[in-house]
Amino acid sequence: MRPLEDVRIVSLEQYGAGPFASLHLAQLGAEVIKIEDPAVGGDVGRHVPPYAEGGDSLFFESFNRDKSSIVLDIRTPEGREVFHDLVRSADAVFSNLRGDVPEKLGIRYADLAPVNPRIVCCSLTGFGMTGPRSREPGYDYVLQALAGWMSVTGEPGGAPEKTGLSLVDYSGGFVAAIALLAGIHAARRDGVGTDCDLSLYDTAVSLLTYPGTWHLTAGYEPGRTRHSAHPSLVPFQAFEAADGWLVVGCAKEKFWQRLTVVLERPDLAEDPRFRTFADRARHADELVALLEELFRTRAVAEWLEALYAAPVPCAPVHDVAEALRDPHAVARELITETEHPRFGRVRALRSPVRLGPPGADTAPTRGAPAMGEHTGSVLRGLGYDDDRIAALARSGALGPIPAGGTAPWTSP
């Protein structure tokens, strides 16, 4: 059995951050029942270009493997009744909506405790459910700007820059997954559920970590650093070689001493300007200029061979294609495959969260679901017969009845 096979999560999730959170739980075995609103065409991630057609996209595939999808409008009385039946059998209700929406939809603990007192209501919103921005939508780019990230990313004197990936969304997803599991653990121990009020804003600000501590405690003013240099450890940055770029990092004194040997300049280790972390920080401009001149004399591969042998922490600056074919990525089995009726063989990234001995399998077992693909099977699992499902369909709780073709709730 996978670690979370006894966990059921009812999810009102969309786009990136929320689906990213439950992706890892699904691949650890949790049953994630994804409720998609038929009135808006389901999860907006289904329509993200460039690889999108017919209500499916490779963006959606990246975040929704191993989940079930049902179509349900929980704002209708009939849909609300179905939702409550799902809540009775679930451990958690998870959502990533605007901060004021959980109250409007009635998905907070106060709303659902009468249905299931052990339910955990985990809400990942842009700005949280309190505070002056709680009613504002929150997106990764917006949060990177607001939380100060863009002031410390990129080259000095350049335009504000975001990180290359949507790290606020993904970090927020990890935070939500941790909180949700903690909430379920406490509910099983104590017999009482709870709310989890999480936000992308809180996540982004908290990730300022030690530069934030330095600023709050000692007045430090964080800023951009040339060639992505560490703000205090020297040398620890990108260097240009004769044919490309590499990163070299001396996070311990022993690495600096080894680097001077690789550079064929052991005298630098005893130079009073560069002997310690503090000395090198004070004389960073002199030292970095000298190192840049030395690194330009050889190709990346030559430097890496010598640095690996020393050893000194280092890496080539890969593009995405190079990163995905790196031998270590292959050895760690980070790339997984699933089949999709429209896109064929989908190669994507598996969750890095693993439990058990080396080789324990947490790879996805199936691709992302079609919209509403599991509506019929989930409803039948709740004990609904064909007549009741047909009545639900007529009420509009399952969305519009297709003109011809097969409705998702007719699936077995």
- Name the active-site residue from 84, 230, 283, 340: 230
Cα end-to-end distance, the chain, whole Å: 25
User: Which residue do the tokens 């693909």 mark?
Assistant: 373
Of 278, 259, 282, nearest to 269 by C-alpha is: 259
- 318 catalytic per annotation: no
Angle at which helices 17-27 and 167-190 cross, to 10°? 50
Q: What tokens does 337 get?
A: 């495959």
Cα gap 108→34, rounded to integer Å? 17
Quick check: 123 and 97 in contact, CB under 8 A?
A: yes
Of 26, 63, 1, nearest to 9 by C-alpha is: 26
Buried b vs exposed e over 172-196: b needs ≥16 C-beta within 10 Å? bbbbbbebbbebbeebeeeeebbbb
- For the chain, the 3-state helix, strand and coil shares in percent, each to the nearest 5, are 40, 15, 45
Strands 236-240 and 245-249 turn out to be antiparallel
User: Amino acid identity of 8?
Assistant: R
**Quick one: which H or E segment has residue 315?**
strand 314-316
Quick check: 82 and 392 in contact, CB under 8 A?
A: yes
Radius of gyration of the chain from its Cα atoms, rounded to whole angstroms: 26
Cα gap 273→269, rounded to integer Å? 9
Cα gap 371→68, rounded to integer Å? 9
Q: Is the peptide bond before 211 cis (omega within 30 degrees of 0)?
A: no
Catalytic machinery residues = 230
